[in-house]
Amino acid sequence: MDWRPSGYLLSTKDLVHAVFDSNSDAGKLLVKATMGEIELFANAKSWNAILWLITNTLKADGAPIYSGKQLGNLKSCLPIVWRSD
Q: Which residues of 47-82 are buried (b: 16+ CB within 10 A; e: fewer)?
A: beebbeebeeeeeeeeebeeeeeebeeeeeebebeb
Residue 3: pLDDT band with limits 50, 70, 90 = confident
Q: What's the pTM? A: 0.84
CA distance 19 to 29: 10
Quote the pLDDT of residue 85.
65
Q: Yes or no: say if 33 and 40 are a contact pair by the CB < 8 Å rule.
A: yes
CA distance 46 to 83: 10
Residue 50: pLDDT band with limits 50, 70, 90 = very high
